[in-house]
Structure 1
């Protein structure tokens, strides 16, 4: 390492712009004006190359941006036992400064670092990362999905069978209902018109959308919020207040319900206790903040993934039909129940989800602060430097994926699990379709800071897509250019006028 460090070019030689010239590009008429997150990183890559330095300004430090997968590996192998992910500064301000009296130092996993992050994660990991604790929700989430299928039949145009322009709202309802089953230990009834929780839900949808859009504006574009409370900053703080207030209301209701059950002598075994109940027994504040984090990270993200899967299946009818045959084996009746081991027998569905995240990645990549001096792409990068690893630009590159423009779920199938009737030439194609580097495709992160809600997301999306494919032939007869807009995550950017045709 010492020899490599000596041979490497100094940090100051990284391609970069001066602060004022860089700022000017974000103004009207400038190169970066009004670009979304994906367009922004593509424009910067074109201008500066595969590695460059974004100048620090307005209280924000310099950031090294790299598009090279070998750099990703070096950074992630130098993250230490307490990886520092220096993002979500606005959320950290809300929890540690603005509403410190509420959080009392218990600030979750999204915006915390070091020992504070580790102590919280060590409490919730054994509960949220164990498959048996999440699988207990299979039946309840399956019921939510059946309600969504019924709702689709009610709201689609009876002649064209297409969804209305506001179908995205129904998708949000579906996802919030699914997450609430785990995070709040209750169904909110959002897929029914008479839900008493609908007003809260609308407020929460608006707050979550503001969280993703405003966080991008404040943290990834030049902003004065660290110096003065800008209008967008105030809107974001209001959105975070709403999320806090609504979550606290429903968590408190769950606590009261559990206390009443305890007084009535109702005692569930460890296996029967919900995630929320287990967390409440440890600490009421931890349970509340964890519920908040699950809602913030699980509604829009899983919703965007669902849209991506539906688009890929609609545009690739052969893959959709192959998936339907697989689902029919574990769900013979359209409105039947999944067996307890159904999700262990749907390898092609999981391959479809993985391929969707390659075609429509949810985020640009990962961000870390290396704990040691490191050499990236031949440049010295001192420890403690913020490094942004952009993988989204590589996922459809011929340099890293054979046939990158082809939707090919088979590339993710393990040997021996492909359809036995698959042609040999396709099998050869599949074997050669893997990524050139394992650090390119990390949609849920990696290491100690990998996504805490992944198992919940997997359960929701697998059960949901299986139910939809079993009930409907899915079409999307509209252009798909710019179907997503890059914010903190990629979010739908067009009316989601899917066509759902009943399967006989």
Structure 2
């Protein structure tokens, strides 16, 4: 495909001949007081908050690649579908990329200065965000940095596969809760250097710490999008949805404090010089205990559901694609001679087909519908003038399924990412952005990819997957969740 001409879509001063005004950008009609919220109401509305990708496609077909909407009265959102325009959005993000997200979570934390110094990585903007991001990304900033977690990841996944072996014969078993336990354990290992024992008998009941942490993450993520974009009455008093968020966050906060206190007591007893990720943070003079509480809560909030849902969709697509499974199995068998062979750095460096499968999964089932930014300067998108401070949101999930950008866009074809394969084509660099882009991209993206790749290789090496459920779609929380259970049968190889 033809790559963008920077001169055509670059940042431009307003008033140039041929440019169209901000007010002329098409989009859904906004009403006084309610904005476009009436269009999202159950039964009568044409859009749904839990189907953002369907909303986006409808709007794209009706209005084109640049759309203006006021879901919340007075807050203009601009939706972008053209990857050329998405590139311009990132060129306008400045030194401190801003976004309008997790607003209620920020309020919750700033209302508790005795526990938190900031709103945390997710909602904070400006120099304050830059300060904590710069510190917390140490140890996570590249593929090589996260290799130190590889041995522990492999051991935890082996333990999880032992549980799979016990439960795989059960009828109509939903594997999504099982995946949540796995990624809670992996997040605890990386973030806290602690084993939370999420697969143990005591932790399997719904009143256990791990069960409540998983529920708290789900409850928080299910509230944030509606709190961000609905009537913001929670700013004035505790609405039911805001109370739900507060309850879930207070539980995560209490667990984080307990685990951090435990870790600090163990840290003082250590005699070797090899520091874990958390120990780096604890020994950093620019951080205090309140900063680290927020970091642990953010990692738990972002680390459980994102990887769980992505892997749920992975099982779905593999279960429906026997030929892809066979190609994966051939690679896994070559790289892992025995079923319990460890996944090493060398194995990952040779897992080309597995990486292509993961990339294709992110194209069809991205973590979220797109990426939001608040423009740092005036910009031009497809000849429309958009002023500084406007909230702009890319629609990568929709664009990745448009045949103008991807041939056979609704088919799961990992081969399209292999340079040696006839299906390969070079895509626009801003089309597929599963973890965002630039300095505000997902802080743990390399760790998340590594964890899912290790699981993929171990799972395929041990089992053949058969899908038993209906067709799945994405359900939009803040992140994309399967809209049904993960019903599969694992046949031992």
**TM-score using structure 2 length:** 0.91
TM-superposed CA distance for 1:403, in Å, is 2.1
After superposition, the Cα gap between the structure-2 partners of 1:130 and 1:71, relative to the gap in structure 1 and judged at 3 Å, is closer
- 8 Å CA contact 2:176–2:309 kept in 1: the answer is no
Aligned match of 2:446: 455
331-340 or 142-151: bigger deviation:
331-340
Can you give the 5+ residue segments of structure 1 that lack an aligned partner in the other structure?
Answer: 419-426
Count of residues in Structure 1 that have an aligned counterpart in Structure 2: 474
Match of 2:464 among 473, 480, 486: 473
Q: Tell me what 2:100 maps to.
A: 86
Q: Which secondary structure does the structure 1 equivalent of 2:208 belong to?
A: helix
Shift of 1:220: 3.0
The 5 A counterparts of 1:48-447 are: 48-55=63-70, 57=72, 61-96=75-110, 98-105=111-118, 107-157=119-169, 164-165=173-174, 167-195=175-203, 199-261=208-270, 266-268=271-273, 272-282=274-284, 283=287, 284-413=289-418, 415=419, 418=420, 427-430=421-424, 432=425, 434-435=426-427, 437-447=428-438
Shift of 1:407: 1.6
SS at match of 2:475: strand
CA RMSD, 1 decimal: 2.1
Which position in structure 2 is the counterpart of 1:31? 45
Alpha-carbon deviation of 1:398?
A: 0.8
Q: Is the 8 A contact 2:180 2:304 kept in 1?
A: yes
Q: Secondary structure at the match of 1:191?
A: coil
Q: C-alpha distance in 2, partners of 1:380/1:196? A: 54
Structure 1 stretch displaced more, 381-390 or 60-69: 60-69
Q: What TM-score results when the alignment is normalised by the length of structure 1?
A: 0.89
Q: 1:230-263 deviations in whole A, cap 9, x for unaligned? A: 11111112212222111121111111111133xx
- CA-CA distance at 1:370 after TM superposition: 1.6
Q: More displaced, 36-45 or 180-189?
A: 36-45
Question: Per-residue CA shift, 1:388-425, capped at 9, x if unaligned?
Answer: 11111111111100121222212222x4xx5xxxxxxx
- The question of whether the paired residues in 2 share the 8 Å contact of 1:396 and 1:405 is answered with yes
DSSP 3-state at the match of 1:25 = helix
Which secondary structure does the structure 2 equivalent of 1:53 belong to? strand
Is 1:9 the equivalent of 2:11? no
Structure-1 separation of matches of 2:384 and 2:60: 17
Return closer, same or farther for 1:289/1:410 CA change in 2, 3 Å cut-off: same
**2:31 maps to 1:19:** yes
Q: Measure the CA separation in 2 of the matches of 1:212 and 1:79.
A: 25
Give the whole-Å Cα distance in 1 for the aligned partners of 2:139 and 2:472.
Answer: 41
Shift of 1:179: 0.9
Aligned residue for 1:380, secondary structure, equals strand
Q: How does 1:484-499 map to 2 (within 5 A)?
A: 484-499=474-489
Counterparts of 1:296 and 1:111, CA distance in 2: 13
Q: Distance in 2 between matches of 1:379 and 1:104?
A: 40
List runs of 5+ in structure 2 lacking aligned partners: 1-11
Preserved CA contact (<8 Å) 1:156 1:163: no
- Residues 305 and 339 of structure 1: is their aligned pair in 2 closer, same or farther, counting only changes over 3 Å? same
SS in 2 for 1:7: coil
Map of 2:8 onto structure 1:
none
Q: Give me the whole-angstrom Cα distance separating, in 2, the residues matched to 1:310 and 1:335.
A: 20
Distance 1:5 1:210 in 2: 48
Distance 1:410 1:109 in 2: 36
What is the deviation of 1:287?
3.2
Residues 51 and 196 of structure 1: CA distance in aligned 2, closer, same or farther (over 3 Å): closer
What is the match of residue 421 of structure 1? Answer: none
Describe the SS at the equivalent of 1:365. coil
Aligned to 1:422: none
Change (3 A) 1:260 1:440: same
